[in-house]
A and B are shown apart, each in its own frame.
Chain A
Amino acid sequence: MSHQLGRVVSEILLRYFGEIVQQVGNDLFTYGSKPIGMIVKTTGLLRSQVIESLRTLLKFDLATFEPSANEIIADYKLLPDNVLLLLRYPRYLLQMKTKYGSEAEILIEELLQQASCTATVLIIAVATKYKDDKEKNINIIRLKDTFISLATAGYIQQAPVAELNEGSEIPTLVPVATIVPDLDSRVIVQAMNSGNIAEANDNIYWRVHYDRFHQDFRDDIMIKAMTRRIDENAGELMRLLLQQMYLASSPWAHESNAIPAMDLRELCRRSAAERPLLHQHVDHYLKVLEENGSGFVVRDGDAGGGLYVVRARDAAQKLLVSVLEHTVTERLGSHAARIFRLILAKKYIEEEDIQKHAMLPNKECKELTYKLLEEHFISVHPMRKAASSGGMNKAVYLYHIKLRDVAQTAVEMCYRSLHNVIKRGAYERTRHSRLREKQRRVRSIVHGMRLRGEPQHNIDDVEETLTPPEIALLQGVEKQLKQLNSAELELDKTLFILKWEKDMDEDNKRFT
Chain B
Amino acid sequence: MTEDELKEKILSLAKKNPKGITVNDITAAHPDLTSAELVNTINKLLQQGSFDIFNQGGTLLYRFKNQANKQAVKGADNEEKVVFNLISEAGNKGIWIRDIRVRSNLANTQLTKVLKNLESKKLIKAVKCVNASKKKVYMLYNLEPDRSISGGAWYQDQDFESEFVDILNRQCLKFLQQRADKIKCNPRGPIIGRTQSYAAAAEVQKYITDLGISNVKLEVEDFITILNTLVYDGKAESTVYPDGSKVYRAIEALIPAPGIVQVPCGVCPLINKCYSSGLITPQQCVYMAEWLE
Contacts and interface: CB of A to CB of B under 8 A. Distances in A.
B185 interface: yes
Contacts of A494: 258-260
Given A225-B255, A421-B282, A230 B190 contact: yes
B165 interface: yes
Interface string B277-288: 000011101001
Interface in B237-293: 237, 239, 251-263, 265-267, 271-272, 274, 276, 281-283, 285, 288, 291-292
Contact of B260 (A228, A280, A410): A410
A327 B162 contact: no
Nearest to A489: B259
B19 interface: no
A338 B229 CA distance: 7
Contact of B271 (A325, A355, A416): A416
Given A361-B160, A480-B292, A490-B259, A352 B233 contact: no
A294 B254 contact: yes
B190 A417 contact: no
A277 B187 contact: yes
Interface residues of B, number: 55
Contacts of A362: 133, 160
Interface string B6-40: 00000000000000000000000000000000000
Interface string B216-244: 00000000011011001110010100000
B154 interface: yes
A285 interface: yes
A238 to B, nearest CB: 12
Contacts of A347: none
A334 B292 CA distance: 25
Interface in B141-160: 154, 160
A330 B257 contact: yes
- Interface SS majority for chain A: helix
Interface stretch (A16-24, A94-102, A299-307, A316-324): A316-324
Contact of A231 (B165, B183, B237, B257): B183
Contacts of B1: none
B42 to A, nearest CB: 40
B107 interface: no
Interface string A465-488: 000000000000000100110010
B136 to A, nearest CB: 16
Nearest to B185: A231
A398 to B, nearest CB: 17
Interface in A137-187: none
A281 B233 contact: no
B252 A228 contact: yes
B131 interface: yes
Nearest to A222: B254
Given A319-B255, A493-B259, A287 B191 contact: yes
Contact of A277 (B189, B258, B288): B189
A345 B232 contact: yes
A491 interface: yes
Contacts of A294: 254
Of A337, A362, A417, A489, the most chain B CB neighbours within 10 A belong to: A417
A342 B266 contact: no
Interface in A266-284: 277, 280-281, 284
B134 to A, nearest CB: 12
Contacts of A285: 189-190
A229 B254 contact: yes
B140 to A, nearest CB: 25
Contacts of B276: 7, 419, 423
Contacts of B260: 323, 326-327, 410, 413-414, 417, 491, 494
A511 B226 CA distance: 45
A424 B288 contact: yes
A357 B257 contact: no
A187 B263 CA distance: 51
B274 A420 contact: yes
A6 to B, nearest CB: 12
A246 interface: no
B131 A334 contact: no
A417 B266 contact: yes
Contacts of A357: 228-229, 232
B116 interface: no
B81 interface: no
Contact of A417 (B131, B194, B257, B263): B263
Contact of A413 (B190, B194, B254, B271): B271
Given A329-B261, A359-B226, A489-B259, 5 more contacts: A292-B237, A322-B255, A330-B266, A427-B283, A494-B259
9 contacts: A229-B252, A327-B266, A357-B228, A360-B160, A361-B162, A419-B276, A419-B282, A421-B263, A494-B258
Interface of B: 98, 131-133, 154, 160, 162, 165, 169, 183-187, 189-192, 194, 225-226, 228-229, 232-234, 237, 239, 251-263, 265-267, 271-272, 274, 276, 281-283, 285, 288, 291-292
